[in-house]
A = this chain, B = another copy of it.
């Protein structure tokens, strides 16, 4: 059967809990909510909601899988390769395989975005 995670408002969903990252990762103020993934037995992709606190950033990453991102709240800057771009609500970012990337919150509210990855 299909699965619905109802939106509760304030970027929270029924049946989904925010998760932090272990402190050894080189990131700051990042939480992740797995909206669709292995718990839903999704064989092909995962859909996550990321939130980065003001002043926070994701780790400087480079890996074989790609990302599909849409910003839902806040203001950020994304590093793609050697260039940085401002991003805000609705902007769609495609990070291809093996591209260096990092997301930073440059505003004063949380930077929230959806992020698609292939099932790993």
Q: What is the interface of chain A, defined by CB distance below 8 A to chain B?
A: 1-7, 9, 13, 35-36, 40-45, 47, 65-66, 68, 70-71, 78, 80-81, 83, 85, 87-97, 99, 101, 114, 116-118
Partner of A44, one of B3, B65, B80, B92: B65
Contact residues in B for A40 (Cβ distance below 8 Å): 94, 96
Contact residues in B for A117 (Cβ distance below 8 Å): 45
Contact residues in B for A96 (Cβ distance below 8 Å): 1-3, 40-42
Which residue in chain B gives the minimum CB-CB distance to A89? B7
B13 and A92 contact, CB distance less than 8 A: yes
> CA A42 – CA B68 in complex, angstroms?
9
Known: A13-B90, A36-B94, A116-B116. A99 touches B45 (CB 8 A): no
